[in-house]
Structure 1
Amino acid sequence: FKGVSSLKQYLPSKPHKWGYKLFVLSDVKGIVHNFEVYTGKIEKAEGHPDLGASSNIVLHLSDVIPAGKHHLLYFDNWFTSLQLIGELGKRDIYCLGTVRPNRLQGCPLPTDKDMKERGRGSFVVSSFASAEPVSTLKRWDKKTKKEVDVECPSMVMAYNKFMGGVDLLDSLIALYRISLRSKKYYLRLFFHFVDLATVTAWLLYRRDCDQFLVPQRSQQPLLDFKMSVAEALCKQGKSASKKRGRSSGSVDAAWEKKKKVGHASKPIPQEAVRKDEMGHWPLVSERRGRCKMPKCKGSPVVVCQKCDVHLCLDKHKNCFLTFHTK
């Protein structure tokens, strides 16, 4: 972001050095549960002692986690401190995270020089996990240029498995980010929040599909999901009053059946757009086209101005009305 804003931060370790800084609480799948925009100062969390900026933000974000449910929280070494782990433990929230040696209150630990001589290693602290059992993993050794066996403690396995939900979220947002440019800071934040909400909605959609055993090939990919949301937002007007549920003879059910057979070509508009009762005017086209009403073999000249599909509309049949109501 190159505009002027008091919220803009310099982040030397990030690919984009200047921008807004957001702290996000997400689950392992990237679904967002809470977030805060960094404004230059992190206040003490209400009802908690002042543990410093990095720990205070964790206390702020974790307020949405219900106490007494034994939730597990993972974070990296910028946030981790023994005081934070103790404070969260009062609410039965257990933690695991990498930690910096200067936050361990004088514990006798190997120096950075010793760790580098060993070639790998980091410090991890937890209120629920331990080193046992130790697993053996295969890793590539650059010196010997072959795979070697490396011992991996249980808590490191857990950290690698469950850490990274926010990174996954960032990568999904970056795939199809809203690219509208503006020097107004609030618009850049707004566009990011739209991307954040859309990706989170898609992750929830995928989670529900998995719970209902919907095959992955039948689930919408992220780009199609965002296009469906964009189409509905651009075209939808007032909601049409309709009966609850979908009848087996609906246009959508017939179209899905036609798709499975392999005869469907141009997709029909979303149901919310098709039935919104706004701007669906019949126009006479210069050439005929195949009627988009399933099971109709007509070739009408009438086109819906909004849906941009050919539909029969004459004294013998009215596919135009059926298409926009069923």
Structure 2
Amino acid sequence: MKRFLTTEQALAQLFEEEPIEERDMVIIPPNPSAVSDEKDFDENDLTNVGVLPSDTAGELEIHNSQFGIFKHHLSIDEQMIPYRGRHSCKMFIKGKPIRFGYKSWILASSDGYVFSFDIYQGKSENKYEYGLGGKVIIKLLKALQKPNYHKIYFDNFFTSFKLLSYLKQMGYFATGTVRDNRIEHCPVESIKVVAKKERGYYDYRFEKLNEIFVVRWNDNSVVTVASTCHTISLLSNVSRYSKKISSKIKIPQPNMVTAYNKHMGGVDLCDNLISTYRIKIRGKKWWWPIFTNFIDVALVNSWKIWKFVNRDDKKSLLAFRREVTNYLLRTPVKIEKNSSTGHASQFALQCENPIDSSGHYLSKIIDGKRRRWILPYALKIYVPNMSNRTPY
């Protein structure tokens, strides 16, 4: 028997012993007018450069969070939208799977559900107290209604001691890898000293005033992690390959590093799902790749909700996309005449009372011209036999 809970009731159970992912429940969406603090949302400043028409980005952001932020562990990372045309916002990042395109900052859950995003629009003349990474973090976290219900993870591009101190004061729990020049003279052992130690060695320090824990761990390379909610205990053992004995060995790993590795890959998981079945329709407008990427994000989010509610249904993302496509093709579309779109083609034939677009065929007639038909039985045309066609 399923338990029907509101978003707040479901979030209140995140800190119980039994994880929310294992409960058999359905979250009832709240009133869309009270989803979050959208009134303070500045529409990503997209209207200043005209990234998308009709505020598409702002509308998608509202729909992404219409069920509230119903995940406990969230991650923030960058996403590349492929584009090889000419535009001032297009970027080149060496070593990335998508080297040319638009950059977008994403707030997603650990399983790949996108809650919020911000498209990077180039360097700003304003100087930010916490740097560009801190500005992005603070802007994306505005979507959270209750900061103490979530734990945030991000990489060393964003993390700094000042940012962690600010997030701690605002009530956010944050964890991230940090660069050596951003730990504010923390007396932890240097990278050169830790690199000479055995594999699995770690050193840590705790800053009492802001309650920030810093650990430096020696793995394949030296990793530094800072957190306001995790510590080094409990230690876990991870498997690594040793060249000396030509076999795998067990080495200790601090809890901070374990939690970071477990919950940080949400944006990468979403990118992987999008790239598998990315929309390939090409357009001549520079904003078209951003628009199609938003459609892919919406489909992935819908599939995630479907899996969350229908636990027993093992429907794949491809099958889900096909089902959505078939539904849209069967949905009647009312076309209104618009003088701005020009006149109809002289070869277009209209039929009274069309049923829907599922009977839309393009066929040759006697005079050799191609005409668009609303119904297959409007005139004598060839209709292929679909009964013997193999289903998906």
| TM-score after normalising by structure 1 | 0.67
* Aligned positions of 1:89-100 closer than 5 A: 89-100=168-179
CA contact (8 A) 2:329 2:357 kept: no
Report the counterpart of residue 167 of structure 1 in structure 2.
268
Letter paired with 1:227: R
Instruction: String of CA shifts for 1:58-102, please: whole Å, max 9, x gaps.
Output: 001000012353311011111111221122223321011111110
Instruction: String of CA shifts for 1:105-161, please: whole Å, max 9, x gaps.
Output: 111344443444446231110001101122223321123211222011111111111
SS at match of 2:133: helix
Aligned match for 2:133, one of 46, 54, 72 = 54
Aligned match for 2:319, one of 220, 224, 227 = 224
Report the counterpart of residue 377 of structure 2 in structure 1.
none
What 5-or-longer segments of structure 1 have no aligned partner? Answer: 240-275, 282-304, 311-326
Change (3 A) 1:306 1:38: farther
Aligned match for 1:77, one of 132, 146, 156 = 156
Change (3 A) 1:160 1:4: same
Greater strand percent: which structure? 2
CA contact (8 A) 1:43 1:53 kept: no
Task: Give the whole-Å Cα distance in 2 for the aligned partners of 1:17 and 1:68.
Answer: 34
Aligned match for 2:308, one of 191, 200, 207 = 207
Letter paired with 1:34: S
Change (3 A) 1:309 1:91: farther
SS at match of 1:69: helix
Aligned identity (percent) is: 31
CA contact (8 A) 2:159 2:177 kept: yes
Report the counterpart of residue 289 of structure 1 in structure 2.
none
Change (3 A) 1:13 1:183: farther
SS at match of 2:287: helix
Report the counterpart of residue 113 of structure 2 in structure 1.
31
CA contact (8 A) 2:333 2:357 kept: no
Q: Are 1:139 and 2:240 matched, yes or no?
A: yes
Task: Give the whole-Å Cα distance in 1 for the aligned partners of 2:185 and 2:113.
Answer: 37
SS at match of 1:131: coil
Instruction: String of CA shifts for 1:26-76, please: whole Å, max 9, x gaps.
Output: 01111011001100036889xxx7311011100010000123533110111
Instruction: String of CA shifts for 1:296-316, please: whole Å, max 9, x gaps.
Output: xxxxxxxxx899669xxxxxx
**Greater relative contact order structure (CA < 8 Å, 6+ sep):** 2
Change (3 A) 1:50 1:233: farther
Task: Give the whole-Å Cα distance in 1 for the aligned partners of 2:285 and 2:133.
Answer: 29
SS at match of 1:25: strand
Structure 1 or 2, whichever has the larger Rg, is 1
Report the counterpart of residue 15 of structure 1 in structure 2.
97
Report the counterpart of residue 299 of structure 2 in structure 1.
198
CA contact (8 A) 1:4 1:183 kept: no
| TM-score after normalising by structure 2 | 0.57
Instruction: String of CA shifts for 1:235-282, please: whole Å, max 9, x gaps.
Output: 31169xxxxxxxxxxxxxxxxxxxxxxxxxxxxxxxxxxxx953677x
SS at match of 1:151: strand
Total equivalences in the alignment:
242
Task: Give the whole-Å Cα distance in 2 for the aligned partners of 1:133 and 1:144.
Answer: 28
Task: Give the whole-Å Cα distance in 2 for the aligned partners of 1:83 and 1:123.
Answer: 16
Report the counterpart of residue 4 of structure 1 in structure 2.
86
Task: Give the whole-Å Cα distance in 2 for the aligned partners of 1:65 and 1:126.
Answer: 19
